[in-house]
């Protein structure tokens, strides 16, 4: 993985294009996000916001352009895709928590299952973040 300096580029997308058949959904989209930077992508319905976000963690495949996350190039290599998914999260438009779980269980679900973090460690980290 790349270094962890504050000014490190964590997400880099360059000239990303995505088509659905004849429809050109993403047209030469480029973006650079630095570590710890907060980015909001806004636009009208159908403008490609969700499609672009979904290409970053390969929930959608783009046809041309380059994407890298923390120095890992997004290619067809499953190992790269898995590594990127370990480092990225996504909140879908329909915000869904699991109603049968507690807040703590919802918060720690991904770190425990995806990152294989121990339950106690995940809960301690969640509490640190909640106290901010």
Share the mean pLDDT of the chain.
86
Residues 79 and 118 in one domain: no
Question: 32 and 83, same structural domain?
Answer: yes
d(CA 93, CA 101): 20
Same domain? For 25 and 82 the reply is yes
| Number of domains present in the structure of the chain | 2
Q: Are residues 19 and 82 in the same domain?
A: yes
Q: How would you label 117-130 residue by residue, b for 16+ Cβ within 10 Å and e otherwise?
A: beeeebbeebeeee
pLDDT in tens, 72-124: 888 877 777 777 777 776 666 666 778 888 989 988 988 888 788 999 999 99
Assigned domain for 27 exists: yes
Domain range spanning residue 102?
97-132
User: Same domain for 56 and 111?
Assistant: no
Q: Is residue 3 part of a domain?
A: no
Q: Put residue 36 in one of left, alpha, beta given phi > 0 → left and psi -120 to 50 → alpha.
A: left
Q: Could you tell me if residue 92 is inside a domain?
A: no
């Amino acid at each position: 993985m790349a270094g962890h300096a504050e000014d490190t580029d964590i997400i880099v997308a360059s000239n990303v294009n995505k088509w659905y058949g004849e429809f050109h959904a993403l047209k030469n989209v480029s973006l650079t996000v630095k570590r710890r930077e907060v980015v909001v992508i806004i636009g009208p319905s159908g403008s490609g916001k969700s499609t672009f976000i979904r290409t970053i963690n390969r929930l959608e495949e783009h046809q041309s352009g380059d994407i890298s996350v923390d120095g890992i190039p997004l290619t067809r290599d499953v190992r790269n895709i898995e590594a990127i998914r370990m480092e990225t999260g996504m909140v879908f438009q329909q915000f869904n928590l699991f109603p049968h779980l507690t807040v703590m269980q919802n918060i720690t679900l991904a770190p425990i299952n995806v990152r294989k973090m121990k339950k106690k460690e995940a809960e301690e980290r969640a509490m640190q973040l909640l106290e901010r």
